[in-house]
Amino acid sequence: MAQCLRPEQFAQARARTVSICAGLSAEDCALQSMADASPLKWHLAHTTWFWETFVLEPHQAGYMPRDRVHRYLYNSYYNGVGPQFPRPQRGLLSRPSLDDVRAYRAHVDDAMARLLEEAGSDASLTDRLGSLVALGTQHEEQHQELMLTDFKHLLGCNPLAPVYRAVAGGDTRYLPGARPARGDTQAWTGFDAGVFATGHQGAGFCFDNETPRHRVFLAPFELAERPVSNGDFLRFIAAGGYTDPSLWLSEGFDWARENAIDAPLYWRRLDGDWRVFTLHGEQAIDPGAPVCHVSYYEADAYARFAGARLPTEHEWEHAASRAPVVGQFADHGCLQPVAPGGDGLRGLFGGVWEWTSSSYSPYPGFAARSDAIGEYNGKFMVNQYVLRGGSCATPPGHVRATYRNFFPAATRWQFAGIRLARSV
Amino acid sequence: MAQCLRPEQFAQARARTVSICAGLSAEDCALQSMADASPLKWHLAHTTWFWETFVLEPHQAGYMPRDRVHRYLYNSYYNGVGPQFPRPQRGLLSRPSLDDVRAYRAHVDDAMARLLEEAGSDASLTDRLGSLVALGTQHEEQHQELMLTDFKHLLGCNPLAPVYRAVAGGDTRYLPGARPARGDTQAWTGFDAGVFATGHQGAGFCFDNETPRHRVFLAPFELAERPVSNGDFLRFIAAGGYTDPSLWLSEGFDWARENAIDAPLYWRRLDGDWRVFTLHGEQAIDPGAPVCHVSYYEADAYARFAGARLPTEHEWEHAASRAPVVGQFADHGCLQPVAPGGDGLRGLFGGVWEWTSSSYSPYPGFAARSDAIGEYNGKFMVNQYVLRGGSCATPPGHVRATYRNFFPAATRWQFAGIRLARSV
Amino acid sequence: MAQCLRPEQFAQARARTVSICAGLSAEDCALQSMADASPLKWHLAHTTWFWETFVLEPHQAGYMPRDRVHRYLYNSYYNGVGPQFPRPQRGLLSRPSLDDVRAYRAHVDDAMARLLEEAGSDASLTDRLGSLVALGTQHEEQHQELMLTDFKHLLGCNPLAPVYRAVAGGDTRYLPGARPARGDTQAWTGFDAGVFATGHQGAGFCFDNETPRHRVFLAPFELAERPVSNGDFLRFIAAGGYTDPSLWLSEGFDWARENAIDAPLYWRRLDGDWRVFTLHGEQAIDPGAPVCHVSYYEADAYARFAGARLPTEHEWEHAASRAPVVGQFADHGCLQPVAPGGDGLRGLFGGVWEWTSSSYSPYPGFAARSDAIGEYNGKFMVNQYVLRGGSCATPPGHVRATYRNFFPAATRWQFAGIRLARSV
Amino acid sequence: MAQCLRPEQFAQARARTVSICAGLSAEDCALQSMADASPLKWHLAHTTWFWETFVLEPHQAGYMPRDRVHRYLYNSYYNGVGPQFPRPQRGLLSRPSLDDVRAYRAHVDDAMARLLEEAGSDASLTDRLGSLVALGTQHEEQHQELMLTDFKHLLGCNPLAPVYRAVAGGDTRYLPGARPARGDTQAWTGFDAGVFATGHQGAGFCFDNETPRHRVFLAPFELAERPVSNGDFLRFIAAGGYTDPSLWLSEGFDWARENAIDAPLYWRRLDGDWRVFTLHGEQAIDPGAPVCHVSYYEADAYARFAGARLPTEHEWEHAASRAPVVGQFADHGCLQPVAPGGDGLRGLFGGVWEWTSSSYSPYPGFAARSDAIGEYNGKFMVNQYVLRGGSCATPPGHVRATYRNFFPAATRWQFAGIRLARSV
């Protein structure tokens, strides 16, 4: 579905990216903690490169790139554009400096402003730019979330446990919205069997991997009304869940042993109590908040422990398609998931991404674009699992019921949690 | 579905396992070529251990194991039974000797014969044994196929390119059934949309992962009438398919580069011509025979090259459910796939396993048994892809339309090939 | 030998360390290119920690460390002091910031100034501090050289090939002192057999590994009068030296193949010509300059190619003990080795470190100190080879004829070259 | 020094190699437990290949190799002969079979017998063969020792702890010669300073690495009169020696931690008592016997624990040059070291190889032969340490005072122990 040109969204997205680095030093922005994570500086540059490569170069007559080496340095994985500086070495580039990257952003922002202004009086250009600008905006938003998760990982490697952002009032022991765990047991919402449509439709933006909309048959199932909480997960730990092979996928159990995993990422035991590193500093565990930073393996093992299973992505979407897209997103003020409020089926959106049991595969009839942008999604459709719903690090307005996020089963540095399902 | 007790199937399966080693030396049976493959001797022992552990110990009063260390040495992955001798070290056991393993087989076969005879006059025992003996028989058959693939891999590491079995007449240049590639292009059979049942039903044996039978919605699709041939695949190679990233899953392209993969496993180029190592020795490529020993990555890349895709396992099953289970199985005389005869949709069974695009997942409502045998299938349901239809190394009578084989995407030492599908 | 207290040397060394970072950004100072190399910021902090830990804490009554976490973060390898932040993760610390490290330096420098002033009127304290301050100064100088080699390695990973320091006049194509290779063949200086003393003696400072002075017997030998030049080494490359196993230690040949080594580190071939990355930017090869950034394996292979061998460290020291300690050190203005001037035996000091054939072993009767400082040298005396003479990155005044540097055989990021010897 | 032709030594060596495999199965002879160890079958073939390649092919007119593929399969590391089948894959060759290897031995033995007979009447041939046959015999003896160490390692991986050879009387708890540890403390023998000749001289056979004989200066030193015993080493373990970094070379301490090393190889703790796997089966530790199967790192750490050091190879040779070459060699009946009898300096020969502190380097003036046989020793002279004296697995008559064995510092599967030295 072609998108209308929305210049104000471009400007908002660009500004929001910069604001994530507010108060951070050039050192903070330059380091890379692992191959899967990138330096903030690289995100600042790569999102800029995206506009330059896919919008300015094809559509701005006479556009002059600021530096030809950017095409190599800041290309993430688009073979159609050319070779790429190796991902694990992104943290070896002290030059170009952060200041240079900021100048690169300004250079591209200026050119984009001119192009968008030009489009105001050129209907053909407006048509050509609409979908591209929408895609670039969404792309920039995806990197905004990665900037938070990647920087959290870097700080999490630091024995000083630095604070990224103080919470309001400066008290980092209690997060806004945190509250004692309720004594309630998990409640369930049921869904009837049927053939349902899944995937995106309508005029709004979506990624190609959400299409084509198609029919699936769902058997009757129930969905847990809230995500699994830290309190729930503490019981799994206390019951020896991490050392009982009968609860685990074989590969997951081996993974946990080889990596000496005995709790979610960022948890550590101090004098017998579990504490958790957050973007607001290290804190006590909030038993009522959703458990977070678990792998697919841990999510699956917990579900088995609880006598349940993970939902498929189609079950999740079927349930979520009726719900408003509200929840704890990155504008909430707290960058750690808190217990979702309300009653009934809640917390589907925001808070934590929810692992589904669905392998990331193309929808029937899916076809990637044949140009370089077509490398956006399709070529990653193997050995990854779909997560749904967004997290407390997701920009507000970014996700929808049909949105498909995806990561390998061992991934833990994303804000990923668990929602249970069961067949009936 | 409870199975009737079929003592004659037990005896046939046991005899067939031994026959696979006929003519092989103790050295042949002791070596292990990689962690994924096991020595033939280990297969001989492990299948025996299965009967001892799951049938004799629980059901034969006073059964005395031949040696308690077998419980450790020959346990593959059943945590519920106890710890396991590490898989990558199975090739370090010169003792117990092959003769000892044969004596172990005789010990267990004798005890089984007594138990089965006893069952002839004990209806309760007959009932209890029926499904277990069926499972043990099927398990033994699965290992018969692995014995061929594992031993082929071992011989394939040997610069002498040894012959496992001579083909009839002793001429290994031309396999029985081999013939020049037909000039025909690929033809397609179409299927209409609908909700269809998938998974096993009826009185015959099946593995737990084929259940429960459940409904799926299928959009209209077409299935290629024959597997992709060596001739087809040679065109992929000639067109630079292995070096064009636009054809590949990103992970697959990296895999091919890191492992310097430029042809199916067992192919090598000699003076400009491709040759292939088979269980009948090294041979010229038969362009009409199905391409074999390719990974999921290669299968997926070829499909994209051909403007098609891999079928889902449900599409495959839907198409195969109407077809008779006939084809080139391990009793064919040739242990290398040959062009399937006939017209129309053909070669679904036997010849080569066919990669599907389906990740190996539990069917809705699937529940593994809660005892040790429950570890048979369920705990492997992550990061593997489903293959269907059996191969020229599969024992005759072993597979059916609902049968789900599964391997990681990089697997190549199985007799795995490609059948194309496309959405319409 | 106890050392006199030399406060001015302390001040000079501290100032020189800071000057190495002049003009560099916080980003430049924070990154780590490999486990063997450390960020500049870490060097700034660690050298400071050394003074705090080994001088201030034991000898300054009431000294208050600026931050207790420094003891952990900036301890390199002294188990006697306590646990150490893992070396490969030194590049993950965006905090403490470069500014914080500078404040730490100021804190310690202030306290040292007070202590040294106090020592001016306290003879006992003067006595206690003399050798410690000398050691700390030498330690700081060693890190000054590592700062150059480590930062060169970081810049060398950067496809922009950044310039660390412009050479005088700004022309980076021709280094000061560079000149065309002379046509002369290598000349040799002979030495007679005898029992000679080796190791340090006298009142000046030395490291413990240079002691005790002891006698060795040397057979007659000849030493090449100049280091092997780039021109010499280009002939080795042109003759296929890197691919001829008969020239190599077996382990070295394997190392070269596994790492695809076909030239010294920092060399790359551009349009058929070799170019070299230097701290002054990328340049043409100067055929007359000493070859540099070669491993022990390459040095040994070249020697065999040249019909010679590497000298032992005792041969080298015997020859150098008669020579003045002059040469191209880090105050020369060019941070890339240039052809040594003069005639006869030349270039022994400065320019390039010279690999010897001697494994790094304790001298007879060597005993490390029993406290934490005793971990300085002794515990590294295995699987390393001795280099002698200093390089163009070595602080002036730092080395002497008895000075023993040491690195593993595969090391290339140090300014290490080759001098030939032969038995007669 | 040219060697006289000794045909009977050839015959004895060949027969002894075969006798080591007496009673072993084809399976025993085919397996490979690690890259450093080879299958027995490979040793049988490689020693045969040595005669074929270096004696028969150059000196037997019209010699026909039994199979050209042997040149590739059984070449260990002689690049001058041609490419080599990869060492880590030697255990993947079920073909050629053990029977085939035996036929290969017979083929070569027959040809050798004819050649040696011919030499009886051909003085020129006799001259040419003398040194070659001596070298081949010594080479075969070296592999005889490796056959025992490699097979011990294979059996040591087997949880059955199989017995290679029963000791006399069949009682494997007490080895012949074992006796309680004496309460005596270690005694020392002193040596005066001086210039001494080291290296081989005289008419007997030696390897090239023992030459040229040359002078070294030795400071006064003392040598422990007996090897370090198991009882001594148990005190090191009990004192926490494995976890005290102040006793270790830094690299050694990391090695021990990474490999979870807390005792010599083949030791395991059973119900609080240490037991040891031997070629005679698993046994209690004999506190009086020399400790064995320790790495250079462990030997060095123990020496530091004991307030001593390892001897240099020249100190060792100087002391041993006066001693008769008697001790516990492989004809002793017990293939596990026992306490050396007698008084004073004892156990220098046989029992256990003794680690020296000397890196394996060429003697001054050493030059390897320029042909393929020249690859025998010289190309391994890096990152290895010299061991002296032979072990209980060394063929009788094989070693001498000048004999230099060498292995990397982490090596443990050889029969290597510790003798202390100290400077005075």
Instruction: Return the pLDDT at D110.
Output: 97
* Contact check, Cβ <8 Å, C30/A69: no
Name residues whose C-beta falls within 8 Å of residue A410's C-beta, 6 or more positions apart in sequence: A255, A295, A296, A297
Name residues whose C-beta falls within 8 Å of residue C168's C-beta, 6 or more positions apart in sequence: C176, C333
Residue B44 within a domain: yes
Asked whether residue C52 falls in the same domain as residue C195, the answer is no
Say how far apart CA C157 and CA C164 lie, in whole Å.
13
Asked whether residue C230 falls in the same domain as residue C300, the answer is yes
**How would you classify the pairing of strands C327-328 and C385-388?**
unpaired
Say how far apart CA D164 and CA D281 lie, in whole Å.
7
Q: What is the pLDDT of residues D81-126, one digit of tens each?
A: 999 999 999 999 999 999 999 999 999 999 999 999 999 899 999 9
CA distance D230 to chain B (A): 29
- Which residues of B lie closer than 8 Å to D, measured between beta carbons? 25-31, 33, 41, 69, 72-73, 85, 89, 91-98, 154-155, 157-160, 162
Residue B183 within a domain: no
Mean pLDDT of D388-396: 98
Instruction: Return the pLDDT at D376.
Output: 86
Using a pLDDT cut of 70, give the percent of chain D over it: 96
Is residue A359 helix, strand or coil? strand
Closest chain C residue to the Cα of D245, Cα to Cα: C79
Mean pLDDT of C171-182: 47
Instruction: Return the pLDDT at B52.
Output: 98
Residue D164 within a domain: no
Say how far apart CA B241 and CA B247 lie, in whole Å.
7
Token pair for residue A240? 């020896």
Residue A182 within a domain: no
Chain D touching partners, 3 or more CB pairs below 8 A: B, C
The partner residue sitting opposite A77, judged by closest CB among B250, B252, B296, is B250
- Tell me the residue ranges of DSSP E strands in A306-368: 327-328, 349-350, 353-359
Could you say which of B138, B156, B174 is where a domain stops? B156
C-beta separation of B337 from B352 below 8 A: yes
Token pair for residue A285? 């565990």
DSSP B187: -
Closest chain D residue to the Cα of B69, Cα to Cα: D160
* Contact check, Cβ <8 Å, D154/B31: no
Say how far apart CA C406 and CA C360 lie, in whole Å.
7
C-beta separation of B274 from B234 below 8 A: yes
Instruction: Return the pLDDT at C172.
Output: 44
Q: Cα–chain-centroid distance for residue D110?
A: 29
The partner residue sitting opposite C92, judged by closest CB among A33, A89, A96, is A33
Instruction: Return the pLDDT at A371.
Output: 80
C-beta separation of A326 from A283 below 8 A: no
Instruction: Kindly provide the b/e burial profile for residues C299-330, where b requires at least 16 CB atoms within 10 angstroms of the residue's own CB.
Output: bbbbbbbbebbbbbbbbbbbbbeebebebbbb
Instruction: Return the pLDDT at B377.
Output: 87
Say how far apart CA D62 and CA D55 lie, in whole Å.
13
Inter-helix orientation angle C123-156/C40-51, to 10°: 170
Could you say which of A156, A178, A196 is where a domain stops? A156
Residue C164 within a domain: no
Closest chain B residue to the Cα of D163, Cα to Cα: B95
Residue B338 within a domain: yes
CA distance A264 to chain C (A): 21
Residues of C with Cβ-Cβ distance to D357 under 8 angstroms: 361-362
Question: Is the confidence at residue C374, as pLDDT, over 90?
Answer: no
Measured from the Cβ of residue B372, the count of other Cβ atoms closer than 10 Å reads: 16
- Which residues of A lie closer than 8 Å to C, measured between beta carbons? 25-31, 33, 41, 69, 72-73, 85, 89, 91-98, 154-155, 157-160, 162
CA distance A282 to chain B (A): 33
- Which is nearest to A229 in space by CA: A172, A265, A181? A181
pTM over cut 0.80:
yes
Q: What is the pLDDT of residues C232-250, one digit of tens each?
A: 999 999 999 999 999 999 9
Closest chain B residue to the Cα of D97, Cα to Cα: B27
C-beta separation of D417 from D390 below 8 A: no
Considering its fold, how many domains does chain C have in total?
A: 2
Residues of B with Cβ-Cβ distance to A84 under 8 angstroms: none
CATH of residue B20's domain is 1.20.120
Residues of A with Cβ-Cβ distance to B358 under 8 angstroms: 359, 361
Asked whether residue D33 falls in the same domain as residue D136, the answer is yes
* Contact check, Cβ <8 Å, A96/C160: yes
CA distance D331 to chain C (A): 34
Residue B396 within a domain: yes
Q: Dihedral sign, CA of D56, D58, D59, D63? A: positive
Measured from the Cβ of residue B343, the count of other Cβ atoms closer than 10 Å reads: 8
Residues of A with Cβ-Cβ distance to B245 under 8 angstroms: 79
CA distance D31 to chain B (A): 6
Name residues whose C-beta falls within 8 Å of residue B379's C-beta, 6 or more positions apart in sequence: A248, A249, A250, B368
* Contact check, Cβ <8 Å, C27/A73: no
* Contact check, Cβ <8 Å, D423/C77: no
Lowest mean pLDDT among A200-204, B409-413, C267-271, D181-185: D181-185
D141 CB-contact burial (10 Å; exposed 0-12 / middle 13-18 / buried 19+): buried
Residues of C with Cβ-Cβ distance to A82 under 8 angstroms: none
Residue B164 within a domain: no
Asked whether residue D294 falls in the same domain as residue D407, the answer is yes
Asked whether residue B28 falls in the same domain as residue B139, the answer is yes
CA angle D153, D157, D160 (to 5 degrees): 120
Q: In what order do the strands lie in the sheet with C267-270?
A: C267-270, C273-278, C281-284
Residue D238's H or E segment, with its range, is: helix D230-238
Asked whether residue C255 falls in the same domain as residue C374, the answer is yes
Asked whether residue A125 falls in the same domain as residue A193, the answer is no
Residues of C with Cβ-Cβ distance to A97 under 8 angstroms: 25, 27
Asked whether residue A77 falls in the same domain as residue A213, the answer is no
Say whether the peptide bond before residue D364 is cis (omega within 30 degrees of 0): no
Say how far apart CA C132 and CA C331 lie, in whole Å.
25
Instruction: Return the pLDDT at B367.
Output: 86
Asked whether residue C135 falls in the same domain as residue C203, the answer is no
C-beta separation of B337 from B414 below 8 A: no
Question: What's the first-to-final CA gap in chain C, in angstroms?
Answer: 37
Q: Compute the mean pLDDT over every residue in chain C, rounded to the nearest whole number.
A: 94
Name residues whose C-beta falls within 8 Å of residue D235's C-beta, 6 or more positions apart in sequence: none
Say how far apart CA B222 and CA B245 lie, in whole Å.
26
Question: What's the first-to-final CA gap in chain D, in angstroms?
Answer: 37
Identity of residue A391: S
Mutation target vs C (from A21, A24, A27; most C CBs, 10 A cutoff): A27
Question: Is the confidence at residue C54, as pLDDT, over 70?
Answer: yes
The partner residue sitting opposite A160, judged by closest CB among C69, C89, C159, is C69
- Which residues of C lie closer than 8 Å to D, measured between beta carbons? 77, 79-80, 195, 214-217, 219, 221, 245-246, 248-252, 296-297, 300, 309, 357-359, 361-362, 364-365, 375, 379-383, 409, 423
Mean pLDDT of D234-241: 98
Instruction: Return the pLDDT at B373.
Output: 86
Instruction: Return the pLDDT at B2.
Output: 83
Asked whether residue A145 falls in the same domain as residue A211, the answer is no
CA angle B40, B45, B46 (to 5 degrees): 95
C-beta separation of D413 from D295 below 8 A: no
Instruction: Return the pLDDT at B12.
Output: 97
- Which is nearest to D217 in space by CA: D235, D240, D242, D191? D191
Say how far apart CA C63 and CA B402 lie, in whole Å.
77
Q: What is the pLDDT of residues C100-143, one digit of tens each?
A: 999 999 999 999 999 999 999 999 999 999 999 999 999 999 99
CATH of residue C289's domain is 3.90.1580.10
Q: Compute the mean pLDDT over every residue in chain B, rounded to the nearest whole number.
A: 94
* Contact check, Cβ <8 Å, A80/B246: yes
The partner residue sitting opposite D249, judged by closest CB among C251, C381, C423, is C381
Residue D75 φ then ψ, to 5°: -75, 125
Q: What is the pLDDT of residues B371-380, one digit of tens each?
A: 888 888 899 9
The partner residue sitting opposite C217, judged by closest CB among D79, D195, D423, is D195
Closest chain C residue to the Cα of D360, Cα to Cα: C359
Token pair for residue A133? 């600008």
Q: Cα–chain-centroid distance for residue A249?
A: 24
C-beta separation of C316 from C345 below 8 A: no
Asked whether residue B152 falls in the same domain as residue B202, the answer is no
* Contact check, Cβ <8 Å, D154/B94: yes
Mean pLDDT of D263-283: 96
Instruction: Return the pLDDT at D340.
Output: 94
Say whether the peptide bond before residue A212 is cis (omega within 30 degrees of 0): yes
* Contact check, Cβ <8 Å, A28/C94: yes
Say how far apart CA C246 and CA C402 lie, in whole Å.
33
Token pair for residue C194? 């005898």
Pick left, alpha or beta for residue C240 (phi over 0 → left; psi -120 to 50 → alpha; otherwise beta).
left
* Contact check, Cβ <8 Å, B160/D28: no
The partner residue sitting opposite C157, judged by closest CB among A41, A89, A155, is A89
Instruction: Return the pLDDT at C73.
Output: 97
DSSP for D170-231? G--SS-TT--PPPSPPP-EEEE--EEEEES--SSS---GGG-S-EEEEE--EEEESSPPBHH
Could you say which of A156, A177, A209 is where a domain stops? A156
Asked whether residue A220 falls in the same domain as residue A357, the answer is yes
Inter-helix orientation angle C7-20/C98-119, to 10°: 170
Give the helix ranges, DSSP H, for C184-272.
230-238, 250-258
Residues of B with Cβ-Cβ distance to A362 under 8 angstroms: 309, 357
CA distance B386 to chain A (A): 12
- The residues with which B422 forms a beta bridge, in sequence order, are B222
Is residue D415 helix, strand or coil? coil
Closest chain D residue to the Cα of C216, Cα to Cα: D217
Say how far apart CA D282 and CA C391 lie, in whole Å.
56
Q: Which residues of chain A have pLDDT under 50?
A: 171-178, 180-181
C-beta separation of D324 from D409 below 8 A: no
Mean pLDDT of B156-182: 69
**Domain span including residue A99:** 7-156
Is residue B276 helix, strand or coil? strand
Question: Is the confidence at residue D417, as pLDDT, over 90?
Answer: yes
**How would you classify the pairing of strands A349-350 and A327-328?**
parallel
Mutation target vs D (from B21, B25, B27, B277; most D CBs, 10 A cutoff): B27
The partner residue sitting opposite B27, judged by closest CB among D26, D85, D162, is D26
* Contact check, Cβ <8 Å, B154/D72: no
Instruction: Kindly provide the b/e burial profile for residues D26-46, where b requires at least 16 CB atoms within 10 angstroms of the residue's own CB.
Output: bbbbbbbbeebbbbbbbbbbb
* Contact check, Cβ <8 Å, B250/A380: yes
Name residues whose C-beta falls within 8 Å of residue D265's C-beta, 6 or more positions apart in sequence: D156, D293, D294, D412, D413
Q: What is the pLDDT of residues C55-96, one digit of tens each?
A: 999 999 999 999 999 999 999 999 999 999 999 999 999 999
Cα–Cα distance list, B321 to B197, B215, B349, C269 (Å): 10, 14, 11, 61
Mutation target vs C (from D357, D382, D386, D411; most C CBs, 10 A cutoff): D382
Q: Compute the mean pLDDT over every residue in chain D, rounded to the nearest whole number.
A: 94
Q: Dihedral sign, CA of B47, B52, B56, B58? A: negative
